[in-house]
């Protein structure tokens, strides 16, 4: 963008050119943009001087695009059209009355989905939309209504409500228990083939935290199956 502005000086010149190209008239372009006809003419001249080619042929009582002007008119109209479509789309999102809830994929699968039907029966007129994400987004910046987060419920600038206390338990396959017997003491798991969650974006309890709860010194050697998704760990 900086290079473009250094070359053409102002985006107003492109707006003037776009309007003149569509209307085939400096006068009608001036009326659309609510400026004077000389202002449109001056913008076009500055744009032509900056680019180094003529964009219009000035006829007796009309104007016509040159070949270079036709190429630029196509690209400018397409670019302005994309920007307008995006702005309209974002404006519609901001004005809508739906509620967006940001949750992790695992929380959506194992908690939210099980309760959605009952929720919709209780609140049939509420347009709730789930946004699953692997990152804890800035709700205000992203325009999100609500988010589910793990923590103590004290986030600056937000209100928090407790959904549930977290409880950590160990689980194993029946085949592993049959081969190794069910452990009766946490120390029995220190050398077990543990599955480790390596969450890339959010702080989560580790095996070291779990063992520390039982005053067991555990050192993660990096061995065992390591996954970065909670659902895969389960």
Q: Which comes out higher in pLDDT, residue 98 or 165?
A: 165
Lowest mean pLDDT: which of 31-45, 76-90, 172-186? 76-90
Percent of the chain whose predicted confidence (pLDDT) is above 90: 39
How far apart CA 188 and CA 200 sit, in angstroms, is 28
On whether both 70 and 106 belong to a single domain, the answer is no
Asked if residue 135 is part of any domain, the answer here is yes
Percent of the chain whose predicted confidence (pLDDT) is above 70: 97
Asked if residue 165 is part of any domain, the answer here is no
Which of 94, 115, 139 is a domain's end point?
A: 94
Own/partner pairs for 17-23, CB < 8 Å, 24+ apart? 17/43, 17/44, 17/47, 17/55, 17/72, 17/73, 17/76, 18/73, 18/76, 18/77, 18/80, 20/44, 20/56, 20/63, 21/65, 21/69, 21/73, 21/76, 21/77, 22/73, 22/77
Asked if residue 62 is part of any domain, the answer here is yes
Residue 213's domain comprises 174-233
On whether both 88 and 128 belong to a single domain, the answer is no
On whether both 218 and 178 belong to a single domain, the answer is yes
Q: Domain holding 43: CATH number?
A: 1.10.10.10
Dihedral sign for Cα atoms in the order 47, 52, 55, 57: positive
On whether both 135 and 194 belong to a single domain, the answer is no
- Predicted confidence (pLDDT) at residue 96 exceeds the cutoff of 70: no
H or E segment and range at residue 198: none
Q: Strands (DSSP E) along 145-200, which ranges?
A: 146-147, 195-197
Rank 35-39, 83-87, 97-101, 144-148 by mean pLDDT and report only the highest.
Answer: 35-39
> How many independent structural domains does the chain possess?
3
CB 218 within 8 A of CB 207: yes
On whether both 80 and 13 belong to a single domain, the answer is yes
On whether both 23 and 52 belong to a single domain, the answer is yes
pTM above 0.85, yes or no: no
pLDDT one-digit tens code per residue, 126-168: 888 888 887 777 777 777 888 888 888 888 888 889 988 888 8
On whether both 111 and 73 belong to a single domain, the answer is no
pLDDT one-digit tens code per residue, 178-195: 998 888 889 989 888 899
The set of residues, in sequence order, having a beta carbon less than 8 Å from that of 35 and lying 6+ positions away, is: 16
């Amino acid at each position: 963008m900086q290079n473009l502005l250094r070359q053409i000086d102002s985006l107003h010149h492109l707006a003037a050119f776009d309007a003149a190209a569509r209307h085939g008239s400096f006068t009608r372009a001036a009326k659309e943009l609510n400026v004077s006809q000389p202002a449109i003419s001056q913008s076009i001249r500055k744009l032509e001087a900056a680019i180094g080619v003529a964009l219009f042929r000035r006829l007796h009582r009309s104007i016509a695009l040159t070949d270079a002007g036709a190429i630029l008119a196509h690209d400018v109209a397409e670019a302005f059209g994309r920007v307008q479509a995006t702005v309209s789309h974002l404006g519609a999102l901001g004005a809508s009355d739906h509620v967006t809830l940001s949750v992790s994929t695992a929380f959506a699968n194992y908690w939210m989905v099980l309760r959605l039907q009952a929720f919709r029966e209780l609140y049939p007129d509420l347009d709730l939309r789930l946004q699953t994400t692997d990152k804890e987004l800035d709700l205000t910046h992203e325009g999100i209504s609500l988010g589910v987060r793990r923590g103590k419920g004290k986030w600056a600038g937000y209100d928090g409500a407790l959904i549930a206390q977290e409880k950590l338990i160990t689980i194993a396959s029946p085949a592993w228990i049959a081969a190794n017997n069910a452990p009766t003491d946490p120390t029995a798991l220190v050398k077990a083939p543990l599955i480790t969650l390596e969450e890339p974006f959010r702080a989560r309890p580790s095996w070291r935290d779990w063992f520390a709860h039982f005053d067991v010194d555990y050192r993660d050697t990096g061995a065992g199956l390591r996954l970065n998704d909670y659902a895969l760990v389960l």
